[in-house]
Structure 1
Amino acid sequence: MSSGTMGGGAWLAASLAASGQTHVFFVDAVLRRTLLALSEAGVAPVLAHTEKAAVYMADGYARVSGRPGVVAAQSVGAANLAAGLQDAWLARTPIVAMTGRKVPAHQHRNAYQELDHGPLFAPVTKYGADIADAADLPRALRQAFAAATAMPPRPVHLDLFGLMGEVVETGTVATPPLDLSAFRTPLHRPEPDAASIAAAAKALIAAPRVAIVAGDGAALSGCGAELIAVAEALAAPIATALGARGIVSTRHPLHIGVAGAYAAPPANRILQEADLILMVGADTGDMLTNYWRTPKAGAVVVQIDADPLEFDRSYPAVVAVQADPRAGLRALAAALGKPSRDGAYLASARARMAEWRTEIAPRLGSGATPIDPARLAAEITAALPSDGILVADTGYSGIWTGTLVDLEPTQTYLRAAGSLGWSFPAALGAKCAASHRKVVCWTGDGAFYYHLAELETARRRGIAVTLVVNNNSGFGQGWPNLVRQAGNRPDAAAELLRFGPTDFTEVARSFGLDGIRVERPDDIGPALQRAMAADHTMVVDVATDIEARAPAPWAPEGA
């Protein structure tokens, strides 16, 4: 190797280290030269037991750190890795996925488990490139980081020649290693044009009853203070997407909870009564709108979004403001000034929220056994530190935490965009990104079964999270509906949706970790405190009632 050149593997490792990556997630066998060099450079390679788990770890890491998560697998595991990117794509997470790729001479010849990678990755990545030679790495890696973090941030894919990427690793690079640490989300904060802000302000002031819906794009922008400023000027209640929960304090008098299909009862009713909805970084999908019923069809909408493809997707926008949500809201607040507003609509919203909190309070303090998950949610609210990270799985895990766990903007809430089992590996990745913060994972037992093996990863790598298992020995969200469909025969329904019972503390111990079994509500708080104080992952296995129902969203009658 001539002076001034580096091997491809050494160059890739040096660039990732220089870019501030602290962890890289992978399944063997891939990029072994790179991984060894990363370890020597102080970047921790985290070996997972499945490609999906590795991706979910990278996803949690990226959402907390703001920098792309890096994940790798050999050619044989490429299809599994691509499947794991679905949640990151839907949640707008920047990930750089790297796979090995057999050389052209071996393709189209029935090479072992060789498939065309392009179609596998196309639906879940925004950029993909074949890397045939190490000399291509500097251009491709920089473009991958730029594409992953550009709005909307999403996964990208680099296909490196060689079953394990070894063709690229053993080539040479003449360019010095790159520092890509500037590529973080949000990468760009475009300012709005003055005319669209003036039009938005005029429409908002003219509407007597305005409500605000802040989506995942708002959370990515970090515009909580600006949301409150605009909401105060308009006397407008604020609802959020599940992924934006905690962008403003859930205890704030303007906050009405999550909107849509995962909402507590008051939120959708309040939105339905608005004359105009201000959508901020909101995707207007079925989950956010309870299947496009709230707001109702034809609702008057003003949108602020950095991604112009979100305009007019589900509701016609009377005004569309293309801007970073923080920048757009800041300009809007200045344009609004302090208009005179009738506070009756906001007062009604506050009254409904107060009524809801009074109604749910007995369940939050429930002494019932099996345990009501509402009580578990209340205990997590009390135990989560002021800078804690709460990671929730999909389905009922998202509804329980999204409606009943109170959060402050100094805390972080991560939720699955739909992939069952995502939360535990994602929690491990989140902890890798923020080793100084406490991470609590809420998973159902059905979700936890997906990635039990990552308990071994947590022990081996010394990753300490508090893993709370809402253990009701079945899939609780669909349980009552299936019982009814089975003619009110629980035994018949149980064949489809019940499993266990499993004591997950024993499972944890078999992996060399520890656990606490909780069967009485008063024991939840002490168990959480003990688990969070530990320097290793601890399982808090909470025996809950499968018959307990999470809060249900309001929908218009007959809709």
Structure 2
Amino acid sequence: MSGHTGAEVVADMLDGYGVTHVFLVPAILRRTLAELERRHPHIARVVTHGEKSAAYMADGYARVTGRPGIAAAQVVGALNLAAGLREPFLAGSPVIALTGGRLPATKFRQVYQEIDDLPAFDPVTKFNGTIDDAGRFPDMLRHAFRVATSGPPGPVHLQIQGNEGQLDTAETDAEPIVEPGFARVPALRPAPGDDAVAEVLRLLAAADRPVIVAGGGVRASGAGAELIALAEALGIPVATSANGKDTIPGTHPLSVGVVGSYSRESANRIVGRADLVCFVGTHTGGMTTHFWAVPPIGTPAIQIDIEPTHLGRNYPLRAAICADAKAALARLLALSVHSGRPDRSAWLAEVDAEQAAWRERYREVLTSDAVPIRPERICGELTAALPADAVVLADTGHAGMWMAQFYDVTDPGQDYLRSAGHLGWAFSAGIGAKCGAPDRPVVVFTGDAGLYYHLGEIETAARRGINLVTVVNNNHGGNQSKRGFDRAYGGQGSEQSRELWTYRDVDFARIAGEMGALGIRVDKPGDLAPALDRALSAGRPVVVDVHTDIDVVAPLPVS
């Protein structure tokens, strides 16, 4: 093969790595897009209304499939794309961003729209590189997939010469290079050493009140089954980070819920009382530990992580395993037969009592018939309504708080994806997730504040027939900010302070209908279940606009 274009190489490599969708704001890599249509028409080109939402769609696609999501934008939109990469960078999601770059002949000459964007990608990528010769397309794309999928996954950026990446029109003799082993996460599974495994088992056996805290690394590794089996074998309750919420169903007897700042009270109380905490696949960051108060620094700790620099970063450790989560948990389970199961009946009874007390405390609001509707009731209805193979995405802010506390994953086949901190992520990410899992129900939970960010993407979903369900907690405000502004105003907000976090009461169901989706407005709690049933069977994009009580705020975390 000789005399072909860079566009042909790129198109063939994307196909070779199993890419099924490219999310972009045109115009970028025009020739490549044409080659995709000619050579690989099964690869969909999803044109979005913003570069940031393209990054979020690629992120949602990556998280649900384990394959790198591809986002692209011309040079003038590159900074917007970089802003979108903050989310997959913080969440550890494999996204590959392709942007245009400056031409050597016009640098520093005030060319229209031209700015050096490359430095902006350094803080939000694992690798940030340029392609300035068509012969480098194969090795640079190969490297991008290797970096995105190996070790802790994360985003990569490649800047391609030309404001629209016109380098892809150049001819080259370079051949496509595809390494199928780096087409999905985890590409490599480092195995644990048996000495380290034995020491962890010894410490777990000696503890009276151990707890496992499972993070996003368990999810990325696909290690939920091994986590549950080990917890059952050793009689250890499991808390999760928000990223790890779907690693154990919330209905499992050993599941205590999400711990940290966006948490369930009972989870924080149980982890806070532990005499040994085993962190698996979590950075032990501020959100998961409520700023290192749950558990308090000094609590005996064990950590298992694929990245050696994460080990002991925030908690001094009694033991550590540097390995893939699935490989480590499987080996712990295999060797646990030699350590026996200690009698933890008293500890597990204490855990059960704490869980029962939490359920009793919030039973009334989870089933409340109040009008306006309480957000807890929405979460309870979602728990009851969603199928065993559902993909659920939750925005940050109050949406993340409500779902972390009051929504339960009910089946190991369900996926739960949450924003790592960017309001507005969930809706666009849900579009990408539905592209990656077209045969599964995809349900987004966001607020009106979150939906406003990328409202125009309703049209994208309708135009492309991307049939996700978006549930909007519509209280015409960003009332997570209420407490903060009340404090700023001396403890009691004023009428004027409310303008800093309240909006008009908008009918998103009607807007959805105008954009080509199905809009369902819900004003009464009793209408939630039939609305969700209708939405899940509609066969088109749906916005379920639930009008809720603006005065209801999420419970604060305990420590």
Aligned to 2:341: 339
Moved more, 44-53 or 504-513: 504-513
Aligned to 1:539: 543
Moved more, 339-348 or 135-144: 339-348
Q: CA separation in 1, counterparts of 2:17 and 2:259?
A: 37
Indicate how the Cα distance of structure 1 residues 308 and 176 shifts in structure 2: closer, same or farther if over 3 A, else same.
Answer: closer
Matched, 1:509 2:513: yes
Aligned to 1:387: 389
Aligned to 2:147: 147
2:391/2:440 contact within 8 Å kept: yes
Equivalent of residue 372 in structure 2, options 370, 373, 391: 370
TM-score (norm 1): 0.96
Deviations 1:285-327 (A, max 9, x none): 0100011101111111011111111111110111111111111
Q: CA separation in 1, counterparts of 2:528 and 2:516?
A: 23
2:75/2:101 contact within 8 Å kept: yes
Aligned to 2:501: 497
Secondary structure in 2 matching 1:106: coil
How many residues align structurally? 553
Q: CA separation in 1, counterparts of 2:366 and 2:172?
A: 61
Matched, 1:429 2:427: no
Equivalent of residue 18 in structure 1, options 16, 29, 39: 16
Aligned to 2:445: 442
Aligned to 1:206: 206
Give 1:60 deviation, angstroms.
0.3
Deviations 1:179-223 (A, max 9, x none): 647421011111101111111112222222111100111111122
Matched, 1:470 2:468: no
Give 1:225 deviation, angstroms.
2.2
Aligned to 2:283: 283
1:8/1:173 contact within 8 Å kept: no
Indicate how the Cα distance of structure 1 residues 176 and 218 shifts in structure 2: closer, same or farther if over 3 A, else same.
Answer: closer
1:5/1:175 contact within 8 Å kept: no
TM-score (norm 2): 0.96
The residue correspondences of 1:37-116 to structure 2 (distance < 5 A) are: 37-40=35-38, 41=40, 42-116=42-116
Equivalent of residue 400 in structure 1, options 402, 405, 409: 402
1:133/1:168 contact within 8 Å kept: no
Aligned to 1:166: 166
Aligned to 2:240: 240
1:132/1:168 contact within 8 Å kept: no
Structure 1 residues without counterparts, runs of 5 or longer: none
1:31/1:165 contact within 8 Å kept: yes
Aligned to 2:353: 351
Indicate how the Cα distance of structure 1 residues 173 and 75 shifts in structure 2: closer, same or farther if over 3 A, else same.
Answer: farther
Q: CA separation in 1, counterparts of 2:356 and 2:164?
A: 58
Q: CA separation in 2, counterparts of 1:169 and 1:217?
A: 39
Deviations 1:225-276 (A, max 9, x none): 2222322333221000011112111111111000100111111111111111
The residue correspondences of 1:447-458 to structure 2 (distance < 5 A) are: 447-458=450-461
Give 1:177 deviation, angstroms.
6.2
Deviations 1:368-408 (A, max 9, x none): 01100111111111221110111110011111111111112
Secondary structure in 1 matching 2:253: coil
2:485/2:493 contact within 8 Å kept: no
Matched residue type, 1:305 = D
2:3/2:171 contact within 8 Å kept: no
Q: CA separation in 1, counterparts of 2:234 and 2:450?
A: 42
Indicate how the Cα distance of structure 1 residues 244 and 370 shifts in structure 2: closer, same or farther if over 3 A, else same.
Answer: same
1:518/1:524 contact within 8 Å kept: yes
Give 1:19 deviation, angstroms.
2.1
Give 1:67 deviation, angstroms.
0.7
Q: CA separation in 1, counterparts of 2:99 and 2:182?
A: 24
Matched, 1:8 2:11: no
Matched residue type, 2:552 = A
Secondary structure in 2 matching 1:549: coil
Aligned to 2:216: 216
Q: CA separation in 2, counterparts of 1:102 and 1:168?
A: 14
Deviations 1:425-465 (A, max 9, x none): 10000000010011111111001100001011111111111
Give 1:549 deviation, angstroms.
2.5
Q: CA separation in 1, counterparts of 2:72 and 2:548?
A: 37
Which segments of structure 1 move beyond 6 Å, counting only runs of 4 or more?
none
1:18/1:181 contact within 8 Å kept: no
Give 1:7 deviation, angstroms.
1.0
Q: CA separation in 2, counterparts of 1:65 and 1:531?
A: 23
Secondary structure in 2 matching 1:277: strand
Q: CA separation in 1, counterparts of 2:182 and 2:286?
A: 34
Identity of aligned residues (%): 46
The residue correspondences of 1:159-198 to structure 2 (distance < 5 A) are: 159-176=159-176, 178=178, 180=180, 182-198=182-198
Aligned to 1:137: 137
Moved more, 361-370 or 172-181: 172-181
Q: CA separation in 1, counterparts of 2:146 and 2:190?
A: 16
Indicate how the Cα distance of structure 1 residues 548 and 298 shifts in structure 2: closer, same or farther if over 3 A, else same.
Answer: same
Structure 2 residues without counterparts, runs of 5 or longer: none
Secondary structure in 1 matching 2:479: coil
Give 1:474 deviation, angstroms.
0.5
Moved more, 156-165 or 489-498: 489-498
Q: CA separation in 1, counterparts of 2:286 and 2:401?
A: 15
Give 1:546 deviation, angstroms.
1.5
Q: CA separation in 1, counterparts of 2:229 and 2:479?
A: 40
Q: CA separation in 1, counterparts of 2:359 and 2:270?
A: 15
Q: CA separation in 1, counterparts of 2:180 and 2:36?
A: 16
Give 1:530 deviation, angstroms.
1.1
2:394/2:419 contact within 8 Å kept: yes
2:509/2:544 contact within 8 Å kept: yes
Q: CA separation in 2, counterparts of 1:327 and 1:176?
A: 32
Aligned to 2:307: 307
Deviations 1:81-102 (A, max 9, x none): 1111000000000011111112
Aligned to 2:34: 36
2:213/2:241 contact within 8 Å kept: yes
1:303/1:317 contact within 8 Å kept: yes
2:381/2:529 contact within 8 Å kept: yes
